[in-house]
Amino acid sequence: MSARILYGKEFAAQIKESARLEVEKIKNNFGVTPGLAVIIVGENPASQVYVRNKHKTCEELGIVSEVVAMPEDTTKENLLAKIDELNADKNIHGILVQLPLPAAIKAHSDEILNRIDPKKDVDGFHPVNVGNLVIGNPQLVPCTPAGCIEMLDLAGIEIDGKRAVIIGRSNIVGKPLFHLLLARHATVTVCHTHTKNLAEIAREAEILVAASGKPNLVTGDMIREGATVIDVGINRIAPKKLVGDVDFDAAKEIAGAITPVPGGVGLLTVAMLMKNVVKAAKLQCA
């Protein structure tokens, strides 16, 4: 029997509708319209697509969207000054610096991201927000792992008491997801490039999350029968072919539920960003 396919589009639509209703409440209760500023430095084509998508979604939900386009040769000092300006702007509740930055300032990415006011850090990358997540007091949480949890909830898949395995330990997905699952009373194992017996550990998972960035790393024989498989990987293996970290065709014959790539968790990331902008606006109105 084939697995239930967890299509991101339907879950993203529910999250966005919930965010739209919250925007209306904030407008009515506080007389404030949530605002997002996205800074894009240079003309990376993929980054431009992502920024347009965020801008369009903001407009759909009634969120003020400001795109700050800065030239490729922008200095670190100029970029930090722009962030300071947005930190002080009471009409902007969320600030996002689109990555990757140009080569000349890429080495300063951490310093640049850390300049964002933690209350406006809608990517959830600031050390203050990371620390809050670790101690069990989450404020603004990275969008992709938060989307994984939201998808499980909306799909009616229980987390409490389950054995979860995450393959990947990045600061963007693996580590925050560990803390989110732990907070929901899952027993969580994190695997990585130095893990021995990866297949054996993966087979223990009732919830298996693949976030390694390696195409088709997870094969069918690594999946426990009936497990929920969340594939966060997006790997381009040909000009027009994207695959995840999971061998989807083999996995769907064994798993109980599985996300496709493309069309899975990735679609929830922008929806969760909107949810973070709304949350940031609430934090600043409180």
Tokens 């899975």, located at residue: 264
CATH entry 3.40.50.720 includes domain 142-267:
yes
CATH architecture of 32-117: 3-Layer(aba) Sandwich (3.40)
Q: How far is CA 179 from the centre of its chain?
A: 14
Classified as helix, coil or strand, 67 is: strand
- How much is the pLDDT for 70? 97
Short-list 121, 46, 108, CA closest to 79: 108
- Where are the CATH 3.40.50.10860 domain residues in the chain? 32-117
Residues with pLDDT less than 70, the chain: 1
- How far apart CA 127 and CA 132 sit, in angstroms, is 8
Residues catalogued as catalytic: 54, 98, 123
Q: How far is CA 272 from the centre of its chain?
A: 7
- How much is the pLDDT for 192? 94
Helix (H) or strand (E) holding 189: strand 187-191
Rounded-to-5 percentages of helix, strand, coil across the chain:
45, 15, 40
- How much is the pLDDT for 239? 80
- How far apart CA 105 and CA 90 sit, in angstroms, is 28
- Where are the CATH 3.40.50.720 domain residues in the chain? 142-267
Contacts of 44 (CB under 8 A, 6+ apart): 100
Burial environment of residue 94 by CB neighbours within 10 A (0 to 12, 13 to 18, 19 or more): buried
